Structure 1
């Protein structure tokens, strides 16, 4: 058993779990939101015994799996073996999972509940998306749109897997304007890690990181 599969999910709040990084998903972090309309698994965690036991305990619930980008697709199969839930994916990346009957593609936005909405936010990949949980949750699950920096803050990062950097910055600006009435909230990144000792939930009073004037030149490339 590897350290990854032996690691345990951690409950941060009554409505929120965080999973250890998943090497099958480029070391990304998965989250589990316990919503009144049913749990939402944001990206597949590593399929270790503790993660699978937690998910199995919720298998009978009316839950959903969200793929925030194509980088998490490789870890989906072992999770679907436990959870017979619909899989939400932005339509530009649905073709990467042919023959998966659980797929539910969406285009630009999709309301899952009155206080739960998906937004297409391309840039990290063509079909990257985020989930905003309002109401009592007040969390933005941003996938790889914002990644942890060494000091614990979040910022957009142009990396080897980035699909389109200017579109990523434009996605951030558009999303920030869409969330104008949602501040303050906490941001849950799907990035590979957080700084040692840092809170994995990063408070944000608005606007989103990466939307200030210092980023404007990148938007116009």
Structure 2
């Protein structure tokens, strides 16, 4: 008796819009369930962390103009970065302490900050990992792509989460204070977290972000 051909376990889900020009990809098992985002912009698209390297995501990226930059918020978000760079010819950006994890790739590294274009800048926020970083997008009232530096807790509030893999908790708290010093309620309206998005319960972003981070810090 011939074995039946293998069928996909489920239909691949399409990335979904979360804000104007911002899309979220389904959680990726290659990055421990991390959520990746795409910012579609006139100065080139920015992919934040590696989504699954499957035909659905590849077609979506191509249909929206490809990838100019792939920014990795921390070491566990690398996933299939090599395949993404090969497929799209994008530049890969990661904080300098974790660049060694991408041998053989063409990588741009940074120390404290790096400006990608007129609306996007990355900021080193160590603690979760040595090179943990966030991307700030100044449009739409200000959006922080927080990686695993700030994540929603079971109540959907943005907080630093201490886990068994946390590199340095005190540095993570110091990085939280840096975010609060750098922004205001007017310049930080939203957070797009890099994991735990199920805790948002259908809300695709964390709104009123600055005041909610301030409450967590207090």
Which TM-score applies when normalising by structure 2? 0.87
Q: Which runs of 5+ in 2 are unaligned?
A: 1-7
Counterparts of 1:149-188 in structure 2 under 5 Å? 149-180=153-184, 182-188=186-192
Equivalent pairs counted in the alignment come to 211
In the TM superposition, structure 1's runs of 4+ consecutive aligned residues that sit over 6 Å from their partners are none
Q: 1:39 to 1:161 in 2, by over 3 A?
A: same
Offset at residue 149 of structure 1 (A): 1.4
2:23 corresponds to which of 14, 17, 33: 17
1:95 is the counterpart of 2:100: yes
Distance 2:34 2:66 in 1: 26
State whether structure 2 residue 56 is matched by structure 1 residue 54.
Answer: no
What root-mean-square deviation, in Å, do the aligned CA atoms of Structure 1 and Structure 2 show? Answer: 2.2
What does 1:104-143 correspond to in 2, within 5 Å? 104-136=108-140, 138-143=142-147
Is the CA contact 2:85–2:91 (under 8 Å) kept in the aligned structure 1?
A: no
Residues 60 and 187 from structure 1, CA distance in 2 versus in 1: closer, same or farther, beyond 3 angstroms? Answer: closer
Q: What's the secondary structure of 2:192's corresponding residue?
A: strand
| Number of the residue aligned with 1:218 | none
User: Scaled by the length of structure 1, what TM-score is found?
Assistant: 0.86
- Note the residue ranges of structure 1 that are not aligned, 5 or more in a row: 215-221
